[in-house]
Amino acid sequence: MSKQNKTVLLVTPWDRNGGLATYSGYLHDYLSEICDLDVHAWDHESIVSRGTGIRAISPNLFKKVNSVDNVHIQYTFGRYLLSLPIILILSKFFGCNTVVTQHERFDNLPFSKPIWIYHQIVYFLIDEIIVHTEYRKQIVSSIHTSKTTVIEHGVIDRPSVTQSPREIDNIVIPGIIRPIKGYEYAIDALQYIEDVTLRIVGNVDDDEYHKSLVEKSKELEVNDRIDWDLRYIPESELFEIIKDADLILLPYNLDTSMSGILSHCISWKNITIVSDAPALVNTIQCEHAVVKQNGETISQRISELQSSPKMQLEILDKMSELSKRYSWDHTAIKTKEKYK
């Protein structure tokens, strides 16, 4: 594919563990095949040195912005609240087209209205806003709708991978252990269904939350059916875990913005159940794969899937369809269309 001389500076978390850095790594690999692409790393609120010590506002940034036509910022609220407008103003000073991918919602946070108003003002400095789902467009005022585009979270399309209905004995929840991911509902589900085990695999982000989960599992007398695999999982091992799981469960809270784990599940075409968080429902588009965030409801769906190969097959067929529709090739092409 021709690069057509579109020069882009990708401003993003880089070279570290985490969903956004992983996302940006894939986006970089596919975009670099069709654009002239450079990267400027930032980490946390980086007007001053924090996090990994990488500063967003640095002399090197001025040189990079002055050498490109497009500045594309991977943005999450909370890490880059102050850096974002500074980089946008700098980009406008050098005449760059500004593109921002908004990676999370913030209307569920304390003081959400002032934060929302702040972002609508900042959005005037942005030429193109990218979100991953129609649901996430709700964070953008109608004033900015004309420059807001849905570009789905990319997925590695694996045409050679096929999955078939199977016995469902082991449920897996992979990823960093955080309260927003609703592990307590999965633990609660075990009391209603006796013939499955649960594997929780990932590093702990919140010690108190993890402690409460262990206590809950002991209170419900299901702890002996839970495999607590508490460590950082390298991506290659994560892929094997997802590929080989009988069923992946993602019982995330309703204000969840997106899930990189769900993208991997789509990629490996695995049987997956998600909560009815609107962003996840909008992504997976399969009624059999969606349940209320409730332990009893989750257990009922697992039982239904255990006894219905046809229902399993409908989920698998949908995953196969989505892996093509959301492929990184398509994501990169759609993203390039936002560049000047």
State the residue for tokens 């999982």.
Answer: 233
Q: Domains (ranges, CATH) in the chain?
A: 7-150 (3.40.50.2000), 170-325 (3.40.50.2000)
Q: Output the pLDDT for position 134.
A: 86
Of all residues in the chain, the percent with pLDDT exceeding 70 is 91
**Span of 23-32, 56-65, 328-337 with lowest mean pLDDT:** 56-65
pTM above 0.75, yes or no: yes
DSSP SS3 for 26: helix
Residue 49 pLDDT level (bands cut at 50, 70, 90): very low
pLDDT above 50 for 45: no
- Using the predicted structure, report yes or no on whether residue 53 has a pLDDT greater than 60: no
- Rg of the chain taking only CA atoms, in angstroms: 21
- pLDDT at res. 58: 72
pLDDT in tens, 203-227: 998 999 999 999 999 999 999 999 9
Mean pLDDT rounded to a whole number for the chain:
89
Which residue from 177, 102, 109 is spatially nearest to 140, judged by alpha carbons? 102
Report pLDDT for 1. Answer: 39
Structural contact between residues 125 and 92, judged by C-beta atoms closer than 8 angstroms: yes
Question: Tell me: the pLDDT tens digits for 100-116?
Answer: 999 877 766 777 888 88
Q: Please tell me the predicted confidence (pLDDT) of residue 57.
A: 67
pLDDT digits (tens, 9 = 90+) for 109-140: 777 888 889 999 999 999 999 999 888 888 89
Pairwise CA distance, residues 98 & 227, whole Å: 46
Query: Which amino acid is residue 204, in one-letter code?
Result: V
Q: Angle at which helices 328-336 and 19-31 pack, to 10 degrees?
A: 70
- Residue 84: pLDDT band (50, 70, 90) is confident
* pLDDT confidence of residue 47: 45
Quote the CA–CA distance of 201 and 198 in Å, as a whole number.
10
> What is residue 82's predicted lDDT score, i.e. its pLDDT?
76
What digits encode the pLDDT tens for the residues 261-312? 999 999 999 999 999 998 899 899 999 999 999 999 999 999 999 999 999 9
Q: What's the pLDDT tens digit per position in 149-196?
A: 999 999 999 999 999 999 999 999 999 999 989 999 999 999 999 889
Residue with tokens 């304390």: 110
Give the DSSP per-residue string, 28-92.
HHHHTTTSEEEEEE--SSTTS--TTT--SSSHHHHHHHTT-SEEEEEE-TTTSTTHHHHHHHHHH
Residue 17 has pLDDT above 80, yes or no: no
Residue 2: predicted pLDDT: 44
Q: What does the pLDDT read at residue 16? A: 64
> Residue 26 has which token pair?
């894939």
